[in-house]
Chains A and B, each alone.
Chain A
Amino acid sequence: MSLLGRIAPQLIALAALVALVSFFFPGFLSISYHDGRLVGPVIDVLKRGAPVALLAIGMTLVIATRGIDLSVGTVMAICGAVAASAIAGGLGVGPALLLALGAGALAGLWNGVLVAVVGIQPFVATLILMTMGRGIAQLITEGRILTFTDAGFAFFGSGMMLGLPVPAWMWLIAGLGTALLMRLSALGLLIEAIGINRRASALSGVNATVLLIAVYVASGLCAALAGIVVTADIRGADANNAGLWLELDAILAVVIGGNSLLGGRFSVTASLLGAMIIQTIDTGVLLAGFPPEYNLVIKAGLVLIILVLQSPRIAAEWRVWRETQRAPPPDRTRTEGGA
């Protein structure tokens, strides 16, 4: 199946959403260019969707191994706090970035070892860091919003490169890099093999333990990048709120991308489209000007519709229904039995 065929449902859902949002906010697709930067709602979606898109890249790999990483939102807060305290301590942009990425890799290593070596279920293993980690972030920031004024670091949140916001470039490059690495090498295949049957893949010579640890480290690094984006965006580390509940949006993005939570075949590109679908809903709700009480209901409703339309069961029912439309069924009980 070609890539286009794989991501067709997500593209259709995204196009339908854009049409829907444009109905309520006609200027949604308008993009203007001034002061060397593109401005418009679509650019906002690309920028604001960056944290979830970055998380979704790592989450896709973890889910492909039949795992899950609930700690990514918290890891964002930790890495943001590390970066902000490094900047506030006068260390400069380079060391701050390295320390934040190091903290993300360390968090991923912790999760990976618990899952692959100790053998704790991924849900439980990453739950530990999810609940405990926010405390670590609060210790680093001493419970306050740690602010800084360094323009060099703020560039990663609100800077512009070639007309596009830097956060958008970050997830585009990270996503493209990961997708190419997975598909041009055998890495993607090996990860899928672990997800389908870890024991069988290990018996056929795949080093499952190292690969499992590696995907959790990758997820930690993605969370670190997301943490850098949100911290640089508001020029401060907010340990209480940074990345709060974003692990759930990241999992949702992977699921909307058509990836199975039971592991196996995966598509990073489809997950990224899932992230953009979520952000289009979020931004669309804000632009449409509904009262805020409706925000979550609208989001839940749209996500439900998208997931229901994607479900294999519904697709099969739809085929059966179409066949019955062509030729009236001689026996009704057969179709009611379901597909």
Chain B
Amino acid sequence: MKFTTFLSGAAILAASATASFAEGEVVGFAQIGSESGWRAAETTLTRNQAEERGYQLQFSDAQQRQENQIAAIRSFIAQGVDAILLAPVVATGWDSVLEEAQEAEIPVVLLDRQVDSADELYLTAVGSNLVHEGEVAGEWLVGEVGDRDCRIVELQGTTGSSPAIDRKTGFENAIQGHDNLEIVRSQTGDFTRAQGKEVMESFLQAENGGADICALYAHNDDMAVGAIQAIKEAGLAPGEDILIVSIDGVPDIFQAMADGEANATVELTPNMAGPAFDALEAYWADGTAPEKFIQTESKLYTQVDDPAGEYEARKDLGY
């Protein structure tokens, strides 16, 4: 009796040992922090992806400080992890720590943001193309209005930030050559709901109570949500009287789309880890080096894409 118990116990141990050899890779994740809902969702999805694939994820929250991220990467190297994911808080100053990882033969994958180090120092970078996001939004509006004249107001992100500059450029590229579309007012709403609402109120005042506005393009969903409230309080129907297109794909914009108050959003997917892990698996298997930049899909969602279901799927991701 005792002997058989021992045997079966040993068998279980052996089985679990082989399992951990097969898929027990340890991945270190040096995250920036949790400054926004999107960032929190990225962390949640990275954890989920690692769990699904049977990786052991070592997570480090750097609280917006580069020195914390560098310290975390050094400790990952000391532990001898199989790969490191890095969402760099700034672009500069990574050369020496990336060289250390390279000497230890640990592949580093950049998530969401880029660094200005030489590209042989990291395996690949996964991210979204911000200009392309703006183009997707603009192309949707071009298709939606057809030949009608359309006066557009634009809520920009934080002045001078790269998402604000690139999303503006992309949108302008898309509407170029369509003379019936024109951006008549453009102001910064600082990526926040409160500013989005306040600036939209001034747009409505300046454009004949909103009667002259055909569409709103917001550089992120939060500003669009604020603007929707301003439009409602002005007695207009957002989504009908004024078309609304924005970028990010946070849960609340899907709720607004389900209520018919927003028309379209371009998703900035928080699932950067999925493509990163795919690239790592190919690399681990036979040393395949991926492209230096893996562009995530900028998917367009409109009212026909089951916004209520999308809201349910996203609301617990930490947004």
Contacts and interface: CB of A to CB of B under 8 A. Distances in A.
Contact of B193 (A44, A143, A236, A283): A236
Given A235-B229, A286-B199, A292-B159, A241 B192 contact: yes
Interface string A22-44: 00010100000001000111001
Interface string A217-239: 00000000000001001111010
Contact of A233 (B36, B190, B197, B205): B197
Contacts of A286: 187, 198-199, 202
Nearest to B188: A292
B187 A145 contact: no
A292 B314 CA distance: 33
A291 interface: yes
Contact of B235 (A35, A234, A238, A283): A35
Contact of B187 (A27, A35, A292): A292
Interface in B161-213: 185-188, 190, 192-194, 197-199, 201-202, 205-206, 209
B296 interface: no
A41 B205 CA distance: 7
B205 A144 contact: no
A50 to B, nearest CB: 12
Contacts of A147: 252
Interface string B281-294: 00000000000000
B202 A44 contact: yes
A287 B206 contact: yes
A149 B201 CA distance: 21
A283 B222 contact: no
Interface in A136-167: 143-145, 147, 158
Given A144-B318, A292-B188, A287 B193 contact: no
Interface residues of B, number: 34
B224 to A, nearest CB: 12
Nearest to B34: A143
A241 B36 CA distance: 11
Contacts of B69: none
B233 to A, nearest CB: 5
A233 B190 CA distance: 17
B61 to A, nearest CB: 11
A242 interface: yes
Given A25-B206, A48-B198, A292-B156, A234 B229 contact: yes
A158 B233 contact: yes
A40 to B, nearest CB: 7
B201 A44 contact: yes
Contacts of B186: 291-292
Nearest to B158: A292
B35 interface: yes
B40 A143 contact: yes
Nearest to B185: A289
A293 interface: yes
B226 interface: yes
Contacts of A283: 202
B192 A238 contact: yes
A234 B189 CA distance: 14
A178 interface: no
Interface of A: 25, 27, 35, 39-41, 44, 48, 143-145, 147, 158, 230, 233-236, 238, 240-242, 283, 286-287, 289, 291-293, 295
